[in-house]
Amino acid sequence: MARPVAEKELEEIEQVVRDYPGGITAAAIDRALKKAPPRRTLQYRLKYLVDAKRLDKEGEGRWTKYRLPPVAGRATPEEPSEPPVPLSTGSVQMRDYLRRPLQARKPAGYNRDFLDSYQPNMSAYLSPAERTRLQKVGKPPMAPQPAGTYIKHILNRLLIDLSWNSSRLEGNTYSLLDTRRLIEFGEEAEGRDRLEAQMILNHKDAISFLAGAPEEIGFNRHTILNLHAILANNLLDDEGAAGRLRHIAVGIEKSTYHPLELPQLIAECFDQILATAAAIGDPFEQAFFVMVQLPYLQPFDDVNKRVSRLAANIPFIKANLSPISFIDVPLSTYTDAVLGVYELNRIDLLKDVFMWAYERSAARYTAVRQSLGEPDPFRLEHRAALRQIVGAVIRGRMNRKAASAQVISWARENIPPQEQEKFRELVETELLGLHEGNYARYEVTRLEFSGWREVWGRIG
């Protein structure tokens, strides 16, 4: 006869879960309990609480999360009483359909015609009026500058905003403050699963990758495969799948959609999506096309939606437009929007989300830019040289004495004589201000930065 579960032990688990309204994994519950039971015992108690409807379970495998059921009459953070995203009539109809039980919705496979029917610069998901509206709010009042200038000016804010919001849309439970501490100081939040910290740090690295080489990124295999590899780092069961197109079958949780399974067709459609996106002339249409078609194909084992959200920023980075960071987008609305593409090949709801999210993001970064003032013209002029020499100092693990000699020598050969002293001051100031939250903009790895910090400041 099974031993009855003590109510006190169950209540302790519920108390831990109560502190995480966004959900918490079993591993994080185990760490948060004052006296954790054996893992199998904890799993049994969690199952007991789920069966008794005292906890809700979401997801599968190591990403399974537990949360308290919503209280009647009170909205949860993921289920606002009134969705803040204004919805069109078509979007409301889509949402109502997607809230039916799975057995009441039609099975759907990958529809190649949905991709084939789109002809760049002839077809359009966004109307001319919608593109004009986005251009009006997204174009900052600045003189023409090289690609990537605008995003570099707001990069520190964007690293936190986009890393947090994109991770939140995957069910990550880090708060905005937790995310800031992790990115700026390398401090992981207590009681959280380390996978959540990894997800956020991967976002930071991926954003830095895009911002660091604006002239080189684009809708091509190099950019998108490397973007996936960075976002998927240390998160996949098969680490070899990071940056590699899918050759296994995958399922979509809580959906009737069945993605393509043949690797050859996946690769063919992936290349077609990239070629089509690259041929689109309007940056907003480019961004939205990628948000529609990349997740629909599911070209990777996992992390497809994250790739699409960051890849949507590629045309904005290159054109010096405001980025999109998905501020305040409700998880439930975004999930329904993506499912609407999967099961119905309809973009109404995702378009509502995209338009609303972009306008909110643009407003935020307009305010951020005003608070930061105009960029330093000297720093802007020498940004490539600064990136080159600071990166060389870090990769060379130079201490202060060696770095100073290297900067002087390098400046003599590469900087006009009348600007050398000011440039050396700029480099030294930058080296003194480097920390865990800002080194990635110099295109160095975490290992290279850690190795440099160990020797920085040594004499001789």
Q: Count the Cβ atoms, other than its own, within 10 Å of residue 216.
A: 11
184: left (phi over 0), alpha (psi -120 to 50) or beta: alpha
CA distance 173 to 195: 11
| Minimum mean pLDDT range among 126-140, 260-274, 415-429 | 415-429
Q: What whole-number percentage of the chain has pLDDT above 90?
A: 50
Q: Phi/psi at 434 (nearest 5 deg)?
A: -75, 140
Q: Which of 340, 372, 404 is the last residue of a domain?
A: 372
252: in domain = yes
Last residue of a domain, one of 372, 388, 414: 372
Q: Please give the pLDDT value at position 77.
A: 44
pLDDT tier, 115 (very low <50, low <70, confident <90, very high otherwise): very high
Same domain (yes/no): 134, 243 = yes
Strands 108-109 and 257-258: parallel
Residue, of 369 and 227, whose pLDDT is higher: 227
pLDDT at site 265? 97
The structural domain count of the chain equals: 3
The pLDDT value given to residue 63 = 66
Task: Say how far apart CA 179 and CA 185 lie, in whole Å.
Answer: 10
Task: Give me the mean pLDDT over the 28-46 stretch.
Answer: 82
Chain CA centroid to CA 9, Å: 37
Question: Which one-letter DSSP state was computed for residue 323?
Answer: P
Q: Give the other-Cβ count within 10 Å of 239's Cβ.
A: 11
pLDDT the model gives residue 270: 98
> Do 266 and 207 lie in a common domain?
yes
DSSP letters spanning 169-195: TTT----HHHHHHHHHH-PPPTTS-HH
Residue 33's pLDDT is 82
Whether 248 is covered by a domain: the verdict is yes
Q: Over range 212-241, report the average pLDDT.
A: 94
117-147 confidence digits (pLDDT tens): 999 999 999 999 999 999 999 998 777 788 8
80 within domain boundaries: no
Helix axes 283-297, 128-138, angle to 10 degrees: 110
Rounded distance between C-alpha atoms, residue 17 and residue 66, angstroms: 7
CB-neighbour burial class of residue 423 (10 A; exposed 0-12, middle 13-18, buried 19+): buried
- 25, part of any domain: yes
Give 53's Cβ-side CA count (13 Å radius). Answer: 2
**Highest-pLDDT range among 29-33, 332-336, 425-429:** 332-336
Whether residue 166 is found in the same domain as residue 112: yes
Pure H helices in 109-231: 112-116, 128-138, 149-153, 155-168, 176-185, 194-212, 221-231
Whether residue 331 is predicted with pLDDT greater than 80 in this model: the reply is yes
At residue 80, the pLDDT reads 41
**Within this chain, do residues 95 and 38 fall inside the same structural domain, yes or no?**
no
Reported as a pLDDT band with limits 50, 70 and 90, residue 81 is very low
Residues 302 and 342 in one domain: yes
Do 308 and 265 sit in the same domain of this protein?
Answer: yes
Task: Give the mean pLDDT of 328-349.
Answer: 95
User: Is the confidence at residue 78, as pLDDT, over 70?
Assistant: no
Residue 1, in any domain of the structure: no
| DSSP result, 27-52 | HHHHHHSTTPPPHHHHHHHHHHHHHT
Give the chain's mean pLDDT.
88
Give 381-410 pLDDT, tens digit per residue: 888 888 889 999 999 999 888 888 888 888
**Phi-psi sector, 444: left (phi>0), alpha (psi -120 to 50), beta:** beta
What's the distance, CA 381 to chain centroid?
Answer: 30
Same domain, 95 and 63: no
**Domain of residue 416, residue span:** 377-455
Q: Are residue 253 and residue 204 in the same domain, yes or no?
A: yes
69 by Cβ neighbours in 10 Å (0-12 / 13-18 / 19+) ranks as exposed
83 within a domain of the structure (yes/no): no
Q: Which residue has the higher pLDDT, 235 or 438?
A: 235
Q: What CATH code is carried by the domain that includes residue 217?
A: 1.10.3290.10
From the list 384, 386, 383, 374, the residue with the least C-alpha distance to 143 is 374
Q: What is the pTM of this model?
A: 0.70
Would the pLDDT of 359 be above 50? yes
d(C-alpha 251, C-alpha 243), whole Å: 19
What confidence score (pLDDT) does residue 372 get? 59
* 211 domain residue, yes or no: yes
Instruction: Examine the pLDDT at 79 and tell me if it is beyond 50.
Output: no
Q: Is the Cβ–Cβ distance between 297 and 260 less than 8 Å?
A: yes
pLDDT at 2: 46
Residue 241: pLDDT above 50?
A: yes
Higher pLDDT, 361 or 185: 361
What's the confidence (pLDDT) of residue 132? 96
The segment with the largest mean pLDDT, out of 17-26, 139-148, 300-309, 416-425, is 300-309
Confidence of residue 105 (pLDDT cuts 50, 70, 90): very high
Q: How many CB atoms lie within 10 A of CB 34?
A: 6
Is the same domain home to 161 and 293? yes
pLDDT average, residue stretch 184-209: 91
CATH of the domain at 59: 1.10.10.10
Rounded to whole angstroms, the Cα distance separating 221 from 311 reads: 12
Domain match, 304 and 383 both: no
Of 345, 372, 399, the last residue of a domain is 372
Instruction: Inform me whether the pLDDT recorded for 263 exceeds 70.
Output: yes
**Residue 171 shares a structural domain with residue 245:** yes
348 and 384 inside one domain: no
- Please check the confidence at residue 69 and state whether its pLDDT lies above 60: yes
Integer Cα distance of 364 and 383 in angstroms: 25
Query: pLDDT-based confidence at 73, cuts 50/70/90?
Result: very low
By residue count, the chain amounts to 460
Tokens of 91: 């979007």
Is 78 domain-assigned? no
Q: DSSP alpha helices (H): ranges in 232-347?
A: 263-279, 283-297, 304-311, 314-318, 331-344
Burial of residue 116 (CB within 10 Å: 0-12, 13-18, 19+) is: exposed
